[in-house]
Chain A
Amino acid sequence: MDRIPILKMGPFLLVTIQVDLYDRLALNLENDLITMVSKTEARGVLIDISAVSIVDSFMGRILGNIASMSRIMDAETVVVGMQPAVAITLVELGLTLQGVYTALDVEKGMELLQKKIGLNLLNNEEEEADEDDRNL
């Protein structure tokens, strides 16, 4: 069965979509990603769609699903590299990818993810620090 490779990079999972996705492939990706998030305890998912020339409502729904499912599993999703023509088409179609973080390229996407989970880590540390204070 065809699969899109998922790379693990520290606390993040990295996916580069290099081909036009047909439905089965997209559904497999959704499944594999969520399984990987759970297995690797990843905190973030970065999906590079710079090579994707068409995002229709089905693909849009898959991206939205991945983001919501990951969030439930305590990971953030960033979609990067969307082609301008795809963005124009998506908005006219009425699909605004709500709940999905986006960034212009992989580098900016990584920064965004780091910031997102960095903030979470900071909050956790503060909470722990508060608890320590109480213990003293």
Chain B
Amino acid sequence: MIVISKDSMGIIREQDVVPFRSRVKEYATKIGMSLVNQTKLITAASELVRNMLKYANGGIVTLEIISKNGISGVRLTFEDKGPGIKDIQLAMKDGFSTGRSLGLGLPGTKRLVNEFDIKSVPGEGTTVTITHWKNGR
């Protein structure tokens, strides 16, 4: 797997969400991702960035264009230094939420993208990485 381009963006306020989404769109357009796949990726990114703001007061997102076996994709890494998630299995269950939301966040987001990875240490922070390939597979 090769990284073609890389950039990062700090998310500290709610107002950062819309510019961040445009940035993701820019990356997805650059590799020629179809509209439906773009929409899925941007929506997933939007959910994760909201989580980051809500539970950890923000964090840093790394945006990358990657290539594997000649297929390009967008990889986003969301890092925060928030309280972390105690029980990831529970957090990945549909309908579960500690905040007052619908509890669609993590499992819904996972369904939208091709690859989803979450690591969290309570008291230290959470890192979520998602990858969506150009053809959506």
A contacts, CB < 8 Å to B: 20, 22-24, 53-58, 60-61, 83-86, 88-89, 92-95
Contacts and interface: CB of A to CB of B under 8 A. Distances in A.
A50 B14 CA distance: 24
Closest 10 CB pairs of A and B: A85-B39, A93-B108, A56-B46, A85-B36, A94-B108, A94-B104, A89-B43, A89-B39, A23-B14, A85-B35
Nearest to A20: B18
A58 B50 contact: yes
Contact of A89 (B18, B40, B94): B40
A57 B47 contact: yes
Contact of A95 (B14, B50, B102): B102
Interface string B7-48: 000000011011001000000000000011011101100110
Most buried by B among A23, A60, A83, A84: A23
Secondary structure dominating the interface of B:
helix
Given A57-B47, A85-B35, A95 B104 contact: yes
B58 interface: no
A53 B94 CA distance: 25
Contacts of B36: 84-85, 88-89
B6 interface: no
A61 B102 contact: yes
7 contacts: A53-B39, A53-B42, A57-B102, A83-B39, A85-B36, A93-B108, A95-B104
Contacts of B108: 57, 92-95
A94 B107 contact: yes
A53 B46 CA distance: 12
Contacts of B15: 22, 24
A86 B38 CA distance: 10
Contact of B104 (A22, A53, A88, A93): A93
Contacts of B40: 85, 88-89, 92
Contacts of B105: 57
A93 B108 CA distance: 4
B112 interface: yes
B77 interface: no
B5 interface: no
A53 B36 CA distance: 10
Contacts of B14: 22-24
